[in-house]
Structure 1
């Protein structure tokens, strides 16, 4: 997430992140990845993206909007790649460091604290839908990627006008809008796919549910828990109705010399 645009989103990505870490610590490390990946993609989606990011030993990878670090934790366990996590909510960034031992920084997606060309690859999962500053976030991703570096995306795209009630603070792009934003940022789209968010192993869903139950047991009377759950239900309803679609894409960072030449020509 690049900026918090509603109290509901602050509850979902800040307070609940802290509660999730608390529940995982009580239940055990086997619950960390399933709980941390809820809302950030299924195992199949993570595998599809990781297979296309050209990762290898020593790859420098950024997880932009990492949440509590579930996808980055999966990447470390499955591919031996230790991504750097950037996340605007301090509680979530701290959870990624503590639960998965990953380098983490509290930072907005449109103000990443990294030098140009720092990373060989990055992914950004369920993040662009949470901000109005999509162009700025993508420009920052292009800046910190080396020429030819790859970016993996999971985006919830709107295929038609969305019926209310809508999740607070979200702004879902259409696919043509998203493609235009990527091109304008100097990111050439190479491949896309539909994400099946239900293709994780049954054990994943079961363990994520157990974590939710533990959070509810501890904090169910807190109105912020009900607020975060309502946010999730609203997104789930839009996906079930077909108004939203989970979209996967991989883009390549265009050479900077080409971008400067194109700018001069225009």
Structure 2
């Protein structure tokens, strides 16, 4: 594929992911988790989701659409005193999947969330962070998560939802509404147990944000004149505007596979 054929989603989630890995290598591992969680949740959001997963002992866990693996790496530290089970990252973008293995030494496979290389009933819990709002195949994704979760398994979701009709939207995004999200979960065999708006939770700690920003600055320094950086940057600008207006908001949910 030529650079001219690269979609904004590929630029944002694959090419920039590879550049982010380079920047982490320059700045140090202390920057890795904050940078690799960019767009996938802050510590208060991840903690809210983690507490609803019910992970303990050697329970197997799946991060579907894992990106660079920051949230999964954060989870292993957050729950280290009660859970030491196997972790699998599934991420369709090949650069991101490979980088997650190198940065965090976590098993990662290049796979779409609609077609996971896992047996039925094979994981105790999973989360899906910022994935449903990037696909029109929402029920296919949720049905596949339901397939690999054990009966009674827990699913954590971070979803960007549209509160009203949008005047602009980042290319490739397909934001559900609150009602369509609920309908999709119920149609694919999930019961919603709890939910909260991200705005109701505390913001990210200052040092977390500073480390993520430092990595972004290195990426911009080294690649800011690259067309794919501009594609990804344009995506972020549009998303920032619709969220600042309140047209799109972050919603977190706990759900159980029935």
Work out whether the TM-score is over 0.5: yes
Aligned length: 249
Tell me, yes or no, if structure 1 residue 240 matches structure 2 residue 223: no
SS of aligned partner of 2:192: strand
Following superposition of structure 1 onto structure 2, how do residues 43-122 of structure 1 map, counting pairs within 5 Å?
43-80=43-80, 81=84, 82-122=86-126
1:162 to 146, 163, 166: 166
Distance 1:190 1:174 in 2: 18
Q: Once structures 1 and 2 are overlaid, which stretch shifts more, 225-234 or 75-84?
A: 75-84
- Shift >3 Å, 4+ stretches: none
- Higher mean C-alpha deviation, range 72-81 or range 142-151: 72-81
Q: Distance in 2 between matches of 1:237 and 1:117?
A: 40
1:42 and 1:198 in contact (8 A); partners too? no
Q: Which residue of 1 aligns with 2:152?
A: 148
Aligned with 1:180 (options 180, 183, 187):
183
CA distance in 2, matches of 1:210, 1:107: 30
Structure 2 Cα separation of the partners of residues 168 and 51 of structure 1: 33
Structure 2 residue ranges without an equivalent (≥5): 1-5
| 2:25 is the alignment partner of 1:40 | no
- The aligned counterpart of 1:212 is 216
State the partner residue of 1:27: 27
**Within 1, Cα distance between the matches of 2:149 and 2:55?**
14
- Which residue of structure 2 aligns with residue 190 of structure 1? 193
How far the C-alpha of 1:180 sits from its partner, in A, is 0.5
Structure 1 runs not aligned, ≥5 long: 1-5, 255-266
Distance, in Å, in 1 between the alignment partners of 2:76 and 2:52 is: 16
In the TM superposition, what is the alpha-carbon distance from 1:78 to its structure 2 partner? 1.7
Any idea what the Cα deviations from partners look like across 1:8-54, whole Å, max 9, x if unmatched? 00000010000001110111000010001110011100000001111
CA deviation after TM superposition for structure 1 residue 57, in Å: 1.9
- Aligned-residue offset at 1:83: 2.4
Deviation at 1:198, TM superposition (A): 6.5
Shift of 1:98: 0.7
- SS state of the match for residue 146, structure 1? strand
Displacement of 1:68: 0.3
